[in-house]
Amino acid sequence: MKITEVEAIPYRIPMRKALHFASGEVHAIEHVLLRLTTDEGLVGTADIPPRPYTYGETVASVTGLLRGLFRDALVGTDPFARERVHERLNRTVGNPTTKGAIDIALWDLAGQAVGRSVHALLGGYTDRLRVSHMLGFDEVPAMVDEAQRYRDEYGIDTFKVKVGRRPLALDIELTRALRGALGPDVELYLDANRGWTATEARQVLDATADLDLTFFEEPDDAAEVLGRRWLVRLSRIPIVADESAPSLGDAAREIQTGGASALSIKTARTGFTESAKILAYAEAVGVDVLMGNQIDTQLGSTATVVFGAAFAYSARRAAELSNFLDMADDLTVRPLSIVDGFVAVPDGVGTGIEIDPDKLAHYRLDEE
């Protein structure tokens, strides 16, 4: 089996509700749909979320690569020869979500080719993942209300609170209000998206020490190396590396040098193959892993649940799978649903992603 065609289709879907957090805001998602076609007529699909402020990728750079260098690296190759494909792709540095999506599409093709789910091929640990919902910036009552609504409506009992604002009291009071309103049985953790200094983050840790928080993600800029290490040493909860550990090498460097004490894994940027390596590294050294969300559509969230539910080590904690709820629509014909706090792994072969041609025609940004 050989890859014969590489399609990169930019599309735009408005947000139902804009997302606000310390490092930016999102009013509509502009993603690129990747499709790899083979000589056997199979189509492997994955979603690419270009994030210029995080990875330097844009819709133009992603489509350019997939119609140029990466097309040349893919056409004519066997989709099972993942390790050889990655060696070729990695001659081009960076571009993590483009490479991640290619890996997911290769796995999708492999699963389809053998008539099995990718979830089973990866390890088949459990058929569903518990969901963690991200609460973006808003007024305190609105955020408390959203959490209560998501708990009532979806059964979600784990919330990631976007923080990183000044004055610090804003987010300290927000967190206290959430704990007060939601009670002791809900899991709460913070994500500051590098919004604070190490010293400010330490102040927040102290001021929230009685609130039973489980994680603190990217409290400050990890590039300010000594400040971050000092914070990690002082913290009684794991400091999670997300944007500071976007690859296997970065993840190892941050953990080994004390720049973090837990890892966020996002299939959008490390696909399944490199995500599995990061997961193995985390298991080897015994640090916690969160399955993160790259403001993923249903397509991206499907990839996350397929991967996260396949391994015991990634299935231990709630995964960030609910961002798609804020989007006005999606390209899939098989929408995910959150029931009793869980998302189920989709049935079917490959990753289970199936594109609605009418929706794609409606939302695509290129000429048909």
311 binds a copy of itself (CB under 8 A): yes
| Contact stretch for a copy of itself (CB under 8 A) within 33-41, 137-145, 203-211, 272-280 | 272-280
Q: How far is the CB of 300 from a copy of itself (least distance, A)?
A: 23
154 binds a copy of itself (CB under 8 A): no
Is 162 designated active site? yes
Is 185 designated active site? no
3 binds a copy of itself (CB under 8 A): no
Kindly tell me which residue out of 3, 129, 252, 291 binds a copy of itself, with binding defined by CB under 8 A: 252
Contact between residue 250 and residue 220 where contact means Cβ atoms under 8 Å apart: no
| Contact stretch for a copy of itself (CB under 8 A) within 56-64, 108-116, 214-222, 329-337 | 108-116
Residue whose CB is less far from a copy of itself, 111 or 238: 111
Active-site entry in 108, 171, 266, 296: 266
- Please, what is the end-to-end C-alpha distance for the chain in angstroms? 27
Is 242 designated active site? yes
Kindly tell me which residue out of 26, 42, 144, 248 binds a copy of itself, with binding defined by CB under 8 A: 248
Backbone phi and psi for residue 2, each to the nearest 5 degrees, phi listed first: -130, 150
116 binds a copy of itself (CB under 8 A): yes
Kindly tell me which residue out of 65, 109, 265, 276 binds a copy of itself, with binding defined by CB under 8 A: 276
281 binds a copy of itself (CB under 8 A): yes
Instruction: Give the closest residue to 123 by CA, choosing from 345, 299, 354.
Output: 345
115 binds a copy of itself (CB under 8 A): yes
Kindly tell me which residue out of 312, 328, 339, 365 binds a copy of itself, with binding defined by CB under 8 A: 312
Is 152 designated active site? no
Is 366 designated active site? no
- Interface mask toward a copy of itself for 23-62; x: CB under 8 A: ----------------------------------------
Instruction: Give the closest residue to 325 by CA, choosing from 294, 297, 290.
Output: 297
Peptide bond into 167 cis (omega under 30): yes
- Interface mask toward a copy of itself for 202-241; x: CB under 8 A: ----------------------------------------
**What does each C-alpha distance from 127 to 6, 119, 230, 301 come to in angstroms?**
31, 9, 40, 15
Please give the DSSP secondary-structure letter assigned to residue 313.
T
Question: What residues contact residue 77 under an 8 Å CB cut-off, 6+ apart?
Answer: 2, 3, 84, 85, 88
What is the DSSP secondary-structure string of 53-119?
A: HHH---HHHHHHHHHTHHHHHHTTS-TT-HHHHHHHHTTS---HHHHHHHHHHHHHHHHHHHTSBHH
* Residue 69 structure tokens: 């260098």
310 binds a copy of itself (CB under 8 A): yes
**What is the rounded CA–CA span in Å between residue 199 and residue 228?**
9
Q: Number of residues in contact with a copy of itself, rule: CB under 8 A? A: 38
β partners of residue 14 = 28
**What is the rounded CA–CA span in Å between residue 82 and residue 103?**
7
**Site for a copy of itself, rule CB under 8 A:** 78, 80-84, 86-87, 110, 113-116, 120-121, 123-126, 248-249, 251-252, 256, 273, 276-281, 283-286, 310-312
**Which residues are catalytically annotated?**
162, 191, 217, 242, 266, 294
